[in-house]
A = this chain, B = another copy of it.
């Protein structure tokens, strides 16, 4: 019997929080690579908040996943069989093969990984898209100066943890915002942030104000919602707000009730000369060599630490993704789809 390839496909566009029934599991025979192709086996699948946007019918900044298509996602894979020049069976590669066991590749967008340089899982985490997002968003858009106060939401997450640690390296006072107490403890204890405020505080605005006695110069926006509202009045003159994500809003099915706070937001933008800038990492490919050089060095120095939340088995991907959107992961969320041969 031929080996089978499990795929998780989009069955229905999501409305509000994705339901298990929005996904469907399909099995097909593992495909055979033709000339100019290689077959890759997925080791790690990265789960990231942006995937929620791909479950909407309209386009976001990228094309959505179509009904009956495999869910997209960054992956770390091993080459099983190669008819493609330059790639050989056994090599570990960074791919974007999505939520499935196996996939064919023509090598486009594929990068070889050196298991001796760093754990291969980091290629979709601290040394991958989330870390790169943190690096560019903070340094190029946030432009922190030593002595300034940097606040980052989703502070124990794949992006936020790197943002805060780089801000510390830049000499800033760094305040995280996270949910669970243990996440806050990790952020201050392990990652070295100066403070961390739980968004579950009864009076979040007051708690954040107390943690930011000199106001906020850079707010790295990952979440939106009530966290954004608590940050807003604390923004200093000339504050910068890189807008990276809005996870609290991704499942909104309609705008929240009034009043309309846009006039207040824009009035504050004017009076305090604030810059809000949306950015997406795919626009910044030219900074990737700088990122890889700097963050790899910082990891070796121990100045950047990371934590992975690894879920075993593709069949648990849907539940893990649902948990991600509820903030239940603790660190960079990965699915181990098959054994990591480098560990």
Contact = CB atoms under 8 A, between A and B. Distances in A.
B262 A259 contact: no
A255 B264 CA distance: 7
Contact of A259 (B228, B254, B264): B254
Given A249-B263, A262-B265, A275-B275, A244 B270 contact: yes
A276 B269 contact: yes
Contacts of A228: 262, 266
Interface string A263-287: 1111111111111111110010000
A21 interface: no
A266 B262 CA distance: 10
A3 to B, nearest CB: 39
Contacts of A252: 263
Contacts of A260: 255-262
A256 B258 CA distance: 8
Which among A245, A264, A276 has the highest number of chain B CB atoms within 10 Å?
A276
B246 A263 contact: yes
A261 B224 CA distance: 12
Nearest to A254: B259
A262 B263 contact: no
Contacts of A237: 61
A301 to B, nearest CB: 32
A31 to B, nearest CB: 34
Interface string A171-202: 00000000000000000000000000000000
A286 to B, nearest CB: 15
Contacts of A274: 276-278
A243 interface: yes
Interface in A280-297: 280, 283
Nearest to A280: B273
B266 A246 contact: yes
Contacts of A262: 228, 260-262, 265
Given A249-B267, A255-B261, A276-B276, 18 more contacts: A228-B266, A246-B267, A254-B259, A255-B259, A256-B263, A257-B259, A257-B260, A260-B260, A260-B261, A261-B261, A262-B262, A262-B265, A269-B278, A272-B278, A273-B277, A273-B283, A274-B277, A275-B277
Q: 7 closest A-B pairs (Cβ-Cβ)?
A: A258-B258, A255-B259, A270-B278, A269-B278, A275-B277, A276-B276, A249-B263
8 contacts: A61-B237, A61-B273, A245-B270, A249-B266, A254-B259, A257-B260, A261-B261, A274-B277
